[in-house]
Structure 1
Amino acid sequence: MKRRTLATRSLALAAALSLGLAACSTDDGGDSADGGGDGGGGDDQLVVGTLLPLTGTLAFLGPPEVAGVGLAVDEINEAGGVLGNDVTIEGADSGDSTDFNVSTQSATDLIGKDADVMIGAASSSVSLNVVDMVTEAGVMQISPANTSTTLSGYSDLFARTAPPDSVQGSALGSLILDSGATKVGFLVQNEDYGTGLRDNVQQTIEAGGAEAVYGGTGAGQEFQPGESNFSAQVTDLLAQDPDVISVIAFDETKAIVTELVAQGWDLGGKTFFCDGNTASYEGDFDEGTLEGVIGTIPGAEAKGEFKERLDAFYADSEGGELTSYAYGPESYDATILAALAAVRGGSADGQTIADNIKSVSGADGGTEVSSFAEGVEALEAGDDIHYVGVSGTGPLNDDNDPSSAFIGVYEYDSSNVQNFTRAVEGQIG
């Protein structure tokens, strides 16, 4: 038996939600709605498992992602639920890549609690740690934040609402080139996310005539996740006289910035962050330390009205205040897509969701809808649908990646707080 009690409020973040950093094909055709889509395993109770970072180096992403899933479930249930039943949430901590035992145990627990779809993880390395287990269990996994290109087309039961690193890498590399840099130093953590993003940034800068003078592909100069002493790396990097430095890291960024400042590097206008570390550092450094630093985060900026809905949900469910909205829209969209796929297929089991998720994302065209309620109405009328979500991504492609996506560009002010400046859209092959 599946749990019938709504567990949205069970995701207590407690002390784990510190601002410690880290920070990402199947055929789907068939006729629509009323059980007429692909799948139809007879499961009428949708259980959403969340595998999100409540602790560890990506814990700053936990609150907006938890809020995105919870808000979506509330709105789904207000619209009548999925297949006549309320959707329930089972929450679990993904941890990070410094201790894979956390995500292994959490995924095992969620499978044991009959999760039909697992929203998460935030870390690509964490998803790679559990995706085979999740797929074998027949559970659909949708990450709102994974960006590793390794995960493109990895499994019919894996999809994501964040773009692969080829898109962020191109955008970040272009920003570096726009700064006039010709010599780029990289400080990169040695795991799939870090090296994959670095490789894509490096390809872009090299195509534009710049070179990697430290930390580049094949140089063997990456650091291990969780590293805290960067004296030697920064000394070696600065000896190469770089024009700019690209920091691809999570919570290690605080120690990196401290060492860069100690060795005389002026970060403003010469340092670039990514989604793993573009977060608020207000109170962490002296005023003005990060002023002018540029960062990128995949996904469109959360709009005012949607932010208000996230804020209200989080205040009501957790009694707290959101300080970041990164991947909140993607988490919301992942949940709505899963629910619409279950409605289209007439069953809430993982395989049915996998069989129908591309179609409801707009891969087959159809009526544009912007909410779960609109989607259900169109499906019940026999229409194909194109869910246009708050994250601004295009329909899922054959690899279950968004076919297009926005990359947000942020600049730090004198308070060491990141501020959205603009978004660039990229297409995904």
Structure 2
Amino acid sequence: MIRTTHAVKAAALAGAVALVLTACGSDDDSGSGGDETAGGEAGPLIIGTLLPQTGTLAYLGPPEIAGVDLAVQEINEAGGVLGSDVEVIHADSSDADHAEVATQSVTDLISQDVQVIVGAASSSVTLNVVDDITGAEIVQISPANTATSLSGYSDFYFRTAPPDTVQGAALGNLITGDGHANVGILVFNDDYGTSLRDVVKTTVEDAGATVVYGNEGEEFDPAASSFATDVTALMATSPDAVVVLAFEQTKQIIPELVAAGVDPATIYMVDGNTADYSADFDPGTLEGAQGTIPGAFPSDDFQARLKEVDPALTDFAYGPESYDATVLAALAAVKGGGTDGATIQANMAAVSGADGGEECTSYADCVEMIDAGEDIQYVGQAGVGPFNEDNDPSSAFIGVYKYGADNKNVWVKAVEGSVGE
């Protein structure tokens, strides 16, 4: 069952209006401990989503929402959770510049007794609302948060995307592996941007290269209306590679870089801006540029299943991670014998394989094994390892994408990295 409330619609509309104007409870039953199988409440599992329907990351919303909806559909086709269908309530997170949207959405989701919230996509948005969510003993699972500051933030906070220690290292190694020695970074002053910048900087410097621009104190204001001054300052340091750590601002920054003489093949981007720019730039503008997106590239079969849910999908970023977040929450409820947040939280690590167990790849197969008394390791679509002690994936893949003359990014390869505990 999929629901969107009037209050959430109003919050989304408020966020959309603000964007134009600025241009830019669960019950307290403690359930079971560890990976035990008794004690929690067994009413319907209600999953809320806090994903971007408006704002600068709205392009990430459709695949993430489709991932949740597909998981709920398949869970219910397999008999639901503890005899009841899973329900899902979609709410808008917008972005950090419209924080009131996510705040209102969380308030509304809590009032509707969700036990799990999948989201947010933005680390900054999560940092604004995570205390409200986890303080209510609601399990929060982000499919896309990467800020290192969120590792181990709360026992009730998990993520199915790896922290920036993995993506940043992969990007830094990609840059130096391409032979660049003087790296300039255009980074916005945002938790996501600075966290990722710090890892990229450490990685390239450890490889013997130099970050010539974009060091601490050289960030740009994400709400700025022009980035010409920042590009001029960057170019004055003569970089042989340019990293752009930004969101929607990228649409203004790229033309500035190209006009300043930057070879697009020396431009690198990340998950926040590795998007389809075919409708935004002249042909060839980004040809040869590369970007990284955490997560294994979705199989043809999984893409087809997502498109059955949302036929308009053209981008699949974080769809696998959203799907896995939903399945893991449902499996944790089954293993713990309850749908309250505390029971789900206590069993998340176990169903991910943190304690060992036999591998299973679908909700139906995993439930069958749980019912037989077996320990499991759910191996999902995103290809991440079991949760570690910080509730981060213990390993993950980072996809490398390259742009063609049509300014569309195409998957090239995946690099696997481990997450430090």
TM-score by length of 1: 0.91
Counterpart check, 1:273 vs 2:269:
yes
Q: Equivalent residue for 2:183?
A: 184
SS in 1 for 2:96: coil
SS of 1:74's partner is helix
**Counterpart of 2:314?**
323
What is the 5 A alignment of 1:150-229?
Answer: 150-216=149-215, 218=216, 220-229=217-226
What pairs with 1:22-421 in structure 2 (closer than 5 Å)? 29-31=34-36, 35-36=37-38, 40-216=39-215, 218=216, 220-268=217-265, 270-315=266-311, 321-421=312-412
Provide the rounded CA distance (Å) in 2 between the counterparts of 1:30 and 1:341.
8
Tell me how far apart the structure 1 counterparts of residues 94 and 380 of structure 2 sit (CA, whole Å): 27
SS in 1 for 2:244: strand
- Please give the alpha-carbon distance, in whole angstroms, between the structure 1 residues aligned to 2:261 and 2:76: 55
- Equivalence for 2:25: none
**Contact 2:50-2:120 at 8 Å conserved across structures:** yes
Q: Which residue pairs with 2:2 in the alignment?
A: 7
Dislocated runs of 4+, deviation >6 Å: 9-16
Q: What TM-score do the two structures reach when normalised by structure 2?
A: 0.92
Question: What residue identity is the alignment partner of 1:231?
Answer: A
Deviation at 1:7, TM superposition (A): 1.6
The CA distance in 1 between the partners of 2:221 and 2:113, in whole Å, is: 35
CA separation in 2, counterparts of 1:213 and 1:177? 14
Partners of 2:166 and 2:33 in 1: how far apart? 25
Q: Percent identity of the aligned residues?
A: 57
1:262, distance to aligned residue in structure 2 (A): 2.3
- Is the Cα contact below 8 Å between 2:350 and 2:376 reproduced in 1? yes
Corresponding letter in the other structure for 2:2: A
Letter in 2 for 1:281: Y
Structure 2 unaligned spans of 5+: 21-31
Deviation digits for residues 202-252 of structure 1, max 9, x if unmatched?
A: 000000011111111x2x111122333011000111011001100000000
Contact 2:67/2:306 (<8 A) preserved: yes
Superposition CA RMSD, Å? 1.8
| Paired letter, 1:411 | K
1:291 CA displacement:
0.5
Residue type of the alignment partner of 1:62: G
Q: CA deviation at 1:267?
A: 1.5
Contact 1:28/1:357, CA 8 A, preserved across alignment: no
Give the Å deviation of 1:28.
Answer: 6.1
Q: Does 1:425 align with 2:400?
A: no
CA deviation map 1:69-106 (0-9, x unaligned) = 00000000000100100000111000101121111111
The corresponding residue for 2:29 is none
Report the residue type matching 1:152 in the other structure: S
1:85 and 1:112 mapped to 2: Cα distance? 21
SS at match of 2:306: helix
Q: Give secondary structure in 2 for the equivalent of 1:125.
A: helix
CA displacement, residues 296-333 of structure 1 (integer Å, 9 cap, x when unaligned): 00000011000000011113xxxxx1110000000000
Cα distance between partner residues in 2 of 1:365 and 1:8: 36
Answer yes or no: is the 8 Å Cα contact 1:28–1:358 preserved in 2. Answer: no
Alpha-carbon distance in 2 for matches of 1:284, 1:383: 52
Which residue does the alignment assign to 2:26?
none
Q: How many residues align?
A: 401
Q: For 1:326 and 1:214, locate their aligned partners in 2 and report how far apart those are by CA, in whole Å.
A: 29
Query: Gaps spanning 5+ residues in structure 1: where?
Result: 1-5, 21-26, 316-320
